[in-house]
Amino acid sequence: MEMTQTKKEQYEALLLEEETVRSPLSEFWRKFKKQKLAFVSFIIILFIFVLAFIGPYITPYDITEPDYENVLSGPSAKHWAGTDAYGRDIFSRIIAGTQISLFVGLTSVFLGAVGGTVLGLAAGYYGGWVDRIIMRICDVLLAFPGILLAIGIIAILGPGLGNVIIAVAIFSIPVFARIVRSSTLEVKSTLYVEATRSIGARPSRIIWKHIFPGTLSSIIVYFTMRIGSAILTAASLSFIGLGAQPPSPEWGAMLSGGRDYLSMAPHVTLFPGLAIFITVLVFNLLGDGLRDALDPKIKE
Amino acid sequence: MSEVLVRVENIKKHFAGTRKFFSREREIVKAVDGLTFDIIQGETLSLVGESGCGKSTTGRVLLKLLEPTEGSIHFDDQEITHLNENELRPYRKEMQMVFQDPYASLNPRMKVKEIIEEPLIVHGIDAATRKKRVNELLETVGLNTYHGNRYPHEFSGGQRQRIGIARALAVNPRLIIADEPVSALDVSIQAQILNLLKDLQEEYELTYLFISHDLSVVEHVSDRVAVMYLGKIVELGSKTQIFENPLHPYTKALLSAVPIANPRLKRERIVLKGDIPNPANPPSGCAFHTRCPFATERCKVEEPKYESYGDQHFAACHFVEELA
Amino acid sequence: MVEHVLEVNDLQTHFYSDAGVVRAVDGVSFSIKKGETLGIVGESGSGKSVTSLSIMRLLRDTPGKIAGGEIVYNGRNLVEAKESEMRKIRGNEIAMIFQEPMTSLNPVFKIGRQIEEAILLHTKCTKQQARERAIEMLTAVGISRPDKVVDSFPHQLSGGMRQRVMIAMAMSCDPQLLIADEPTTALDVTIQAQILELMKKLTVDFETSILLITHDLGVVAEMCDRVVVMYAGRAVEESDVYTIFENPKHPYTQGLLASTLTLGEKVERLQSIPGNVPIPSKMPEGCKFAPRCPHAMERCWAEEPTYDAYSENHHVRCFLYEEEAK
């Protein structure tokens, strides 16, 4: 009798055993950790962020002071990435420039995401003419190649890094508006949103408590992926002289500064180019990994 | 005297379908096409029918989740047909819904306690009372209070339906519209949920509008039954009238089509020919004439009237007396 | 000696994942005679569908594997058959129809072409003959204008029609065994009645054996000669349909029958089986039904009962009947 009681009790205890609550966040983390490449990218991005914060304080050389004795010298033990036309240490400038590229990428995409999300939610939830007007404007904006649109905006606002941010933000808006609208439509038609309507919830509650969290995962994925292309666009604009102006250590501006010496001193363009390449790549890889971990449609 | 809680008069819900190619005309789907019925305080009225008959649409129109195209809805003698969302809010407290799919009707990103709490927040109940009430509700529907901290995906279908029921009960409604509440559940779990619904009805004096395609379930839960076919009620009566003395040939066919869990029973079955017609393009006259074994020329042209055949038993068929 | 078309002995199908092994099917045995309809009843998670997929050896795209037991079809053990041999058997000797006929038909091809393809694959005949056969089969399953239906696309047909097409396709090569996995669950009652009538007619006309997988005891009562009841991956009871309904032995079968609503039967309060089906990670150690069983004894928690013959045609997996079984 003793024995059996324990067997039964054991089972009942097993049933009652508080399993660790599997919240959406912990589920995400569990899946994300399996994405090796994205996880590595995530670590690299963390490192880039640290560099962005402390970069200007840890550069081995002064980044603006010219050193005419060491003009265009190749990579060496002293200057890991060589020096540029003014003899400045390229490695130091890349480290210092991290801040700029990351700031431009993050703020422009953030502004674009906020604008696009609000417009997308409005278009998706209210439908009708609100939807039609918003989406037609987005269609027009999307019809321009991104860089051309940005050049146009800069042409109106004038060159400068601040205006680059605005330009990139503006052409990110329709992209976010579109994806937020489509996931809004999807979430809006779910039974749980109908259930929320049936209890008498106001539209504001439905949008912010139910629909917005439902679209968040696609926003995050897109956000990550857009950062890469925003950094690239900002660098391109700087390269053609519309963004950051010399002597700023912005990566695109550094490329631009090195283009005259491409044949005799390729390292002047190679290393900033590499910095852009790696940063864009890791953001895109992270975006891919996030999508696989967040998107409920792609199950394990 | 029994008191009418909901009075529905001639409600219609038409949907604009896809536009025909090269034409300005749109196809009109008459999902609900002129329903009139009362729901009496404390009873269970069932709407039964096959897919496309408009039973779920009717439930949603009653709750004003869909705007009726025509007709009127009275709740407790107040007309609510044309109220806007703000004016409707006090009535939303009185009528709640339990949904068919316990997987899709709960927000996967919210904890169970947040889901059950939501109607209380919407109707302005203070935080301390809400917390107490949520725990109370969890116990009422047979869950434990610690379940509140979990997410819906950690529960089985039956448990999720209990959560859905708790949410519906939260604001003490008088009417619950249950849309196929057990059809997604296993038999042994179905029985648990049906018993729970019955207990709750007694305890809280609830009125149910029970929407189902399953006649065995309907027979078990209902006081009165309305049989629907292609957007219309073809027969309405007490449970006994519908199940023991059906008047409409469709009701008879429906009853005889249900497989019965008794291998010795050999029945003469009325097997209807053909398919349920497309509601966008319903047959002329009596909509059932294409499948009715007794249809005549008259049925093809003339729509039968929905008439009383005594003792609150209604049917819409030209030949009720002849077929009896 | 009765000839068995199919004999399944102690089938084990396990699913492997990072989280561990799930024994979806863990001890299922039954056999089907020629022309017989055998029903497998069980609730979700009982392993009934996995059983049918195992017989068809359709587990290749899943993490599932047959881990033990035998599936003997006409004297041949399918567990050991090569994929190429299985391709010859599938659709030809053993055919299958599924719950959702839409997903099992290719939406971009005409109905006729899909049936013809199945015929051409397994029989030596010309395209013209295949087409004639397709029309003949569509007529046999009660489609009123077969010459028109062969040239329509799946989406142009209703659910009931599509299920008829699936049956026509399944029957086109005269299979010895038809596996029907919840064939009427997605259909309306009046359409279900049509399909059930059709399947009954086919067993008589073609002498096909049917393995009918369903959760609906009404459908079982109407269609089956014998019934296997499954719970948590195991066969818990098997007998002829009358015995199962009138003299069920296993407490689960009894509970299932008691909680089933039957038209015309008035019950004030439904009996229900308390609790839920155990989840794979929290399987009880002994009898899998013990936690929900009103008769659970001390033993039931500690060891699992074997699947014994209670009488000649009645198997039960329960300690209550151990004495009688011997």
Instruction: Tell me how many domains chain A contains.
Output: 1
Is the predicted pLDDT of residue C326 greater than 80, yes or no?
no
pLDDT for position A5:
58
Question: In this structure, is the dihedral angle defined by the CA atoms of residues C308, C311, C316 and C320, taken in order, positive or negative?
Answer: negative
**B2 in contact with chain C, both atoms CB, cutoff 8 A:** no
pLDDT digits (tens, 9 = 90+) for C212-225: 999 999 999 999 99
Question: A132: part of which helix (H) or strand (E)?
Answer: helix A128-143
pLDDT digits (tens, 9 = 90+) for B279-316: 888 898 999 999 999 999 999 999 999 989 988 999 99
Mutation for B interface: C141, C192, C259, most B CBs within 10 A: C259
The domain made up of C4-93+173-325 is a member of CATH 3.40.50.300: yes
C194 touching B (Cβ < 8 Å): yes
> Stretch B19-32: mean pLDDT, rounded?
74
CB B324 within 8 A of CB B241: no
**Interchain contact C298–A (C-beta under 8 A):** yes
- The token duo for A183 is 């996931």
Q: Is the pLDDT assigned to residue C229 strictly greater than 90? A: yes
For chain C, the straight-line distance linking the first and the last C-alpha, in angstroms and rounded, comes to 23
Domain that residue A44 falls in: 26-55+80-294
* Residue owning tokens 């990072």: C18
Sheet with B44-48, strands from edge to edge, namely B95-98, B175-179, B207-212, B44-48, B224-229, B232-238, B314-316, B306-308
pLDDT tens across C158-202, in order?
A: 888 888 888 888 888 889 999 999 988 888 888 888 889 888 888
Residues of C in contact with B217 (CB under 8 A): 261
Closest chain B residue to the Cα of C194, Cα to Cα: B271
Q: What secondary structure letter does DSSP report for C196? A: H
Dist. CA A229–CA A106, nearest whole Å: 11
A36 touches chain C (CB under 8 A): no
Q: CA B37, B212, C194: angle at the middle one, nearest 5? A: 115
Nearest to A199 among B92, B109, B153 (CB): B92
Strand, helix or coil for residue A110: helix
Angle at C218 between CA C217 and CA C220, to 5 degrees: 60
* Contact flag B104-A192 (C-beta cutoff 8 Å): yes
Q: Do A4 and C299 touch (CB under 8 A)?
A: yes
CB spacing of A11 vs C284 below 8 angstroms: yes
Count Cβ atoms below 10 Å from residue B115 Cβ, excluding itself: 24
Contacts of A190 in chain B (CB under 8 A): 104
Q: Which residues of A touch C286 (CB under 8 A)?
A: 7
Contacts of A4 in chain C (CB under 8 A): 297-299, 301-302
**Per-residue confidence of chain A (300 residues) as pLDDT tens digits?**
445 556 777 777 777 665 666 777 888 888 888 888 899 999 999 999 998 888 878 877 777 777 777 777 777 777 777 777 777 888 888 888 888 889 999 999 999 999 999 999 999 999 889 999 999 999 988 888 878 888 888 889 888 888 889 988 988 999 999 999 999 999 999 999 999 999 989 999 999 999 999 899 889 989 998 998 899 888 888 888 888 887 888 888 888 888 888 788 788 788 888 999 999 999 999 998 888 888 655 433
Interface size B-C, in CB pairs within 8 Å, comes to: 127
Q: Domain for residue A67, yes or no?
A: no
- Mean of per-residue pLDDT scores for chain C: 88
Return the structure tokens found at B101. 């799919």
Helix (H, G, I), strand (E, B) or coil at C150: coil
What's the CA gap between B283 and B287, in Å, rounded? 5
Q: Please provide the DSSP assignment of C57-84 as one string.
A: T--TTSSEEEEEEEEEETTEEGGG--HH
Tell me the C-alpha distance between C220 and C215, whole Å: 8
Give dist(CA C210, CA C32) in Å, integer.
8
Q: How far is B187 from chain C (nearest CA, A)?
A: 6
**Beta carbons of C315 and C238 less than 8 angstroms apart:** yes
Computed from CA positions of residues B82, B88, B91, B93, in that sequence, does the dihedral angle turn out positive or negative?
positive
- For chain C, give every domain's residue range: 4-93+173-325
Specify the amino acid at residue A198: S
Mutate to test the interface with A, among B111, B118, B171, B172 (most CBs of A within 10 A): B118
Task: Give me chain B's average pLDDT, please.
Answer: 90
How many angstroms separate the CA atoms of B168 and B102, rounded?
Answer: 13
Q: How far apart are CA A258 and CA C134, in angstroms?
A: 73
Q: How confident is the model at residue B18 (pLDDT cuts 50, 70, 90)?
A: low
Question: What is the rounded CA–CA span in Å between residue C65 and residue C48?
Answer: 15
Q: Is the pLDDT of residue B243 over 90?
A: yes
Binary contact (A22, B106; C-beta < 8 A): no
Q: Does B172 touch chain A (CB under 8 A)?
A: no
User: Are B259 and C190 within 8 A, CB to CB?
Assistant: no
Q: Which residue of B has its CA nearest to A213?
A: B109
Cα Rg for chain A, rounded, in angstroms?
Answer: 25
Among 3.30.420.40, 3.40.50.300, 3.30.1360.120, 3.30.70.260, what is the CATH number of B4-94+173-323? Answer: 3.40.50.300
Evaluate whether A54 touches A102 at the Cβ level (below 8 Å). no
Report the residue count for chain B: 324
Q: ∠B101-B102-B104 over CA atoms, to 5°?
A: 70
In angstroms, the CA A185 to CA A196 distance is 16
Nearest residue of B to residue C162 by CA position? B275
Q: Which range is least confidently modeled, A1-15, C14-28, C86-100, C253-267?
A: A1-15
CB contact at 8 A, B186 and B105: no
Using the predicted structure, report yes or no on whether residue C211 has a pLDDT greater than 90.
yes
C25 token code pair = 């099917």
Q: At how many degrees (to 10) do helices B157-169 and B112-122 cross?
A: 20
Closest chain A C-alpha to B142 CA, distance in angstroms:
15
Using the beta-carbon criterion (under 8 Å), do B101 and A18 form an inter-chain contact? Answer: no
CA triple B235-B238-B239, angle to 5 deg: 100
Q: Point out the least confidently predicted range of C148-152, C306-310, C321-325.
A: C321-325
Q: Is the pLDDT of residue C1 over 60?
A: no
Record the tokens describing residue C76, joined without a space: 């041949």
Does the CB of B165 have a partner CB in chain C at under 8 Å? Answer: no
Q: C-alpha distances in angstroms, C135 versus A124, A219, C144, C198?
A: 48, 52, 11, 17
pLDDT of residue B21: 62
Among A123-132, B312-321, C14-23, the minimum mean pLDDT is found in C14-23
SS3 content of chain C, % helix, strand, coil (to 5): 40, 25, 35
The answer to whether residue A20 sits within a structural domain is: no
At B178-230, the pLDDT tens digits run 999 998 888 888 999 999 999 999 999 999 999 999 999 999 999 999 999 99
Give this complex's ipTM. Answer: 0.87
CB contact A4 to C (< 8 Å):
yes
**Max Cα–Cα distance, chain B, nearest Å:** 67
Residue among B159, B216, B271 whose CB faces C263 most closely: B216
Output the pLDDT for position B117. 95
CA distances from B280 to B32, B48, B284 (A): 11, 20, 12
Chain C contact present for B50, CB below 8 A: yes
- CATH code where residue A234 lies: 1.10.3720.10
C189 and B275: CB-CB below 8 Å? Answer: no
Residue C38: strand pairing partners: C211, C226
- Whether residue A2 is contained in a domain is answered as no
Mean pLDDT of C224-250: 94
> What are the structural domain ranges in chain B?
4-94+173-323
Q: Are strands B78-79 and B95-98 parallel, antiparallel or unpaired?
A: unpaired
Average pLDDT over residues B40-56: 92
By the CB < 8 Å criterion, does C156 face chain B? no
Residue B22 CB neighbour total at 10 angstroms: 5
Q: Do A4 and C298 touch (CB under 8 A)?
A: yes
Q: Is residue A31 part of a domain?
A: yes
Neighboring chains of A (3 or more beta-carbon pairs < 8 A) = B, C
pLDDT at site A299: 38
- Chains in contact with B, counting 3 or more C-beta pairs less than 8 Å apart as contact: A, C
Average pLDDT over residues C86-103: 83
Tokens representing residue C169 in the block = 């396709």
Whether residue B293 is preceded by a cis peptide bond, meaning omega within 30 degrees of 0, is no
